[in-house]
């Protein structure tokens, strides 16, 4: 559908409800940021109303300036809130979640891109919240393998990194420092570092891409052994951002889901309001992780009994 007018399937109500207000107050009191608010996510009502959120580490100023993103670009000046890992762990202990997503702005001003801060937060969150599954949506760390290893060694349950768009559109959509093949290498290197870790990525549509280009991006992600994929509609955050070329019909999103599943992704969330951190997908991913863990434990137990 041409982009003259937003279609009815993209209509969402304003955020409201007691859970939403309680979480907003909690994050504000602890000086924590959420991508839900910073990126004007259309699912904030669904997620916050259900008591879940995606926390954004390392401030609210991004060292990059992608043309689709609402997060404020600028110079973070190297400062990090040293209390943030503790505050994040405490906030999560108050929410009673089983699954959480931690993400961040890009911090190219830091020597390791903020990887050590990510790692500290992951470890403290897991220590203070036993049983909580942690997904991290990470930057590319400028391709620094040592920085990536810091995050992977902290043992998150899912490592996500978004390619965002197709290969041909990447130069016009993302910051010049964000490269299509570099993003794919990040995902591939996560698996090289820890083969059993789960990986995830996301694609926006509605920017003028063709179906075959989206399929090609999916193929590249599967070649990098990515497990989970989300596909969602790009929505223009403001007049200074890229225009929406077209509003993709829900039937096409269903087609993308089928294509992705046929290519071998373990889970594909595809729909107009789907975002990289999508509550409806977290249940399936959590179930997949827990089921695989039980299978590995059962296998190890049977091996021990056989040896005896």
CATH number at residue 147: 3.20.20.70
* Highest averaged pLDDT of the listed ranges 90-104, 207-221, 269-283: 207-221
Chain center to CA of 42: 15
CA distances (Å), origin 167, targets 46, 69, 121, 248, 259: 32, 18, 32, 19, 18
Q: Is residue 8 part of a domain?
A: no
Instruction: Give the model's pLDDT for residue 292.
Output: 84
Q: Give the DSSP H/E element, type plus range, for residue 230.
A: strand 228-233
Share of the chain above pLDDT 70, in %: 79
pLDDT (tens digit, 9 = 90+) per residue, 66-94? 988 878 889 887 779 899 999 999 988 88
Residue-wise burial string across 28-60, b where 16 or more C-beta atoms lie within 10 A, e elsewhere = eebebbbbbbbbebbbbbbbbbeebbbbbbbbe
Q: What span, in angstroms and rounded, lies between the C-alpha atoms of 152 and 241?
A: 33
Give me the pLDDT at residue 138, please: 97
How is residue 104 annotated by DSSP? E
Residue 113 domain-assigned?
Answer: yes
Does residue 192 surpass a pLDDT of 60? yes
pLDDT of residue 280: 44
Position 2 confidence tier, pLDDT thresholds 50, 70, 90: low
- Two tokens at 224? 């990098």
Separation CA 264–CA 250 (nearest Å): 21
> β-strands 54-57, 72-73: how paired?
unpaired
Count CB-CB contacts under 10 A for residue 167.
15
Residue 72 lies in a domain: yes
Which pLDDT band holds residue 233 (cuts at 50, 70, 90)? very high
Residue 1 falls inside a structural domain:
no
pLDDT for residue 262: 98
Do residues 243 and 236 make contact, with C-beta atoms less than 8 angstroms apart? yes
Could you tell me if 87 and 31 are in contact, meaning their C-beta atoms sit under 8 angstroms apart?
A: yes
> Which one-letter DSSP state was computed for residue 15?
P
Query: What backbone torsions phi and psi does residue 89 show, to the nearest 5 degrees?
Result: -60, -40
Cα three-residue angle 176-177-183, rounded to 5 degrees: 115
- Residue for token digits 């207000």? 21
Residue 9 lies in a domain: no
**Which domain range does residue 81 map to?**
14-307
- Choose between 160 and 276: higher pLDDT: 160
Give per-residue pLDDT as tens, 242-294: 999 999 999 999 999 999 999 999 999 999 988 776 554 566 677 788 788 88
Rounded Cα distance between 123 and 133, Å, is: 12
Residue 37 near residue 72, CB atoms below 8 Å: no
State the total domains in the chain. 1
DSSP designation for 2: B
List Cα–Cα distances, 174 to 66, 162, 255, 272, in angstroms. 4, 11, 25, 21
Is 282 inside any structural domain? yes
Q: What is the pLDDT of residue 293?
A: 80
The reply to whether 119 falls in a domain is yes
pTM of the model: 0.85
Asked if residue 80 belongs to a domain, the reply is yes
For residue 271, the cross-strand partners are 232
Strand partners, 55: 34, 102
């Amino acid at each position: 559908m041409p982009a003259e007018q937003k279609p009815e399937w993209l209509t969402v109500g304003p955020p409201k409800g007691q859970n939403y207000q309680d979480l907003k107050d909690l994050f504000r009191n602890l000086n924590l940021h959420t991508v839900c608010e910073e990126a004007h996510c259309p699912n904030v009502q669904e997620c916050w109303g259900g008591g879940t959120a995606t926390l954004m580490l390392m401030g609210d100023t991004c060292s990059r300036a992608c043309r689709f993103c609402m997060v404020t670009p600028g110079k973070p000046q190297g400062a990090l809130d040293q209390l943030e890992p503790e505050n994040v762990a405490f906030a999560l202990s108050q929410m009673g979640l089983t699954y959480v997503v931690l993400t961040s702005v890009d911090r190219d001003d830091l020597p390791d891109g903020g990887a050590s801060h990510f790692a500290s937060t992951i470890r403290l969150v897991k220590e203070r919240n036993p049983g909580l599954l942690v997904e991290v949506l990470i930057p590319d760390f400028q391709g620094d393998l040592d920085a990536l290893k810091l995050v992977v060694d902290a043992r998150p349950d899912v490592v996500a990194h978004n390619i965002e768009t197709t290969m041909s559109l990447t130069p016009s959509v993302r910051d010049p420092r964000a490269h299509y093949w570099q993003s794919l290498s990040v995902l591939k290197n996560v698996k090289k570092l820890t083969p059993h870790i789960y990986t995830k990525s996301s694609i926006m549509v509605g920017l003028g891409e063709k179906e075959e280009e989206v399929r090609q991006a999916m193929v590249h992600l599967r070649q990098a052994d990515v497990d989970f994929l989300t596909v969602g509609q790009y929505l223009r955050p403001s007049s200074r951002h890229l225009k929406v070329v077209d509003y993709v019909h829900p039937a096409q999103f269903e087609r993308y889901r089928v294509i992705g599943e046929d290519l071998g992704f373990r889970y594909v969330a595809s729909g107009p309001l789907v975002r990289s951190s999508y509550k409806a997908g977290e249940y399936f991913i959590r179930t997949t992780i827990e089921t695989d863990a039980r299978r590995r434990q059962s296998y190890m137990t049977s091996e021990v009994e056989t040896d005896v």
